[in-house]
Amino acid sequence: MNQNHGEFDCDLHSRKAPVDCGMGQHLRSKLENRSDGNPSVHGGNKQAIRINKPGIRVLGIAESFVRSVPVSTLSGIVMRGDLRIDGVALAEITVGGMDATEGVLSIYRELNREDINILMLSGNVIGWFNIIDPERIHGETGLPVISVTYEESEGLERYIEEYFPGDAERLRRYRALGERSALRLKTGYDLFVRAHGLSLKEARSVLNRFTFEGRIPEPVRVARLVARAAMRIGRESGE
């Protein structure tokens, strides 16, 4: 599996796309170095959440797949502000399909939790160009959505056109994602973010709250580990 944690997380031995399949244009965003302060996050009609409260809960979602298997495994991890896990759910989406958004929403619905405050996605382009719509997720859940990736990229449009010729809808969904913003974490590492339902300053505070070391926030790091284990078990059992 991809150990570089780019936006397009797939089997490195079975693709030609760049490690990080991020934006439609080369990123030239200025790094966000403002003070975190003690902001609140507003999720739709939900009450404002104090980011530094121990009871804050993030639903982190990540995937695992290989091109030889027709489905990608999604894992959702509910993590508290003290980094304790108190919820897990799984879903499957089609490799190369158009159902990634439904996969994310199915995890949220299955958990049926009223105490989740923020969704955190490990990229928006997953499962071999299966594109997540973070704006729709924000609208249907009423929760802020933070999408994170880790490397600069000149975009995926030419790969979509190469691998999915004539697929105007897939290309439209990709373009609708817009550009990412570069943020620097308290750990000294940079990552790239799309934020829906909260400001970049608030997103940075959330990421700092949930990043113990390096650049990968714990909710999506653990979700990725669970997804890989679940995919491996499924393949070994023949399911």
Helical (H) or strand (E) element with 162: helix 157-163
The CA-atom distances, in angstroms, between 139 and each of 78, 85, 230 are 20, 25, 29
Global pTM exceeds 0.85: no
Confidence of residue 147 (pLDDT cuts 50, 70, 90): very high
* pLDDT for position 95: 97
- Residue of 152 and 5 predicted with greater confidence: 152
Cα separation, 154 vs 157, in Å, equals: 9
Higher-confidence residue of 12 and 214: namely: 214
d(CA 97, CA 58): 27
Q: Which residue has the tokens 């030419």?
A: 158
Give per-residue pLDDT as tens, 9-65. 433 223 334 333 333 333 333 344 443 444 566 555 555 667 777 789 999 999 999
pLDDT the model gives residue 208: 96
Query: What percent of the chain has pLDDT above 70?
Result: 78
**CA 125 to centroid of chain Cα atoms:** 9
The domain locations on the chain are: 12-237
Q: Quote the tokens at residue 115.
A: 């105490």
pLDDT of residue 87: 97
Q: Which fold has domain 12-237?
A: archaeoglobus fulgidus dsm 4304 fold (3.30.2170)
- Residues 63-108 have pLDDT tens digits of 999 888 899 999 999 999 999 999 999 999 999 999 999 999 999 9
State the pLDDT at residue 49: 67
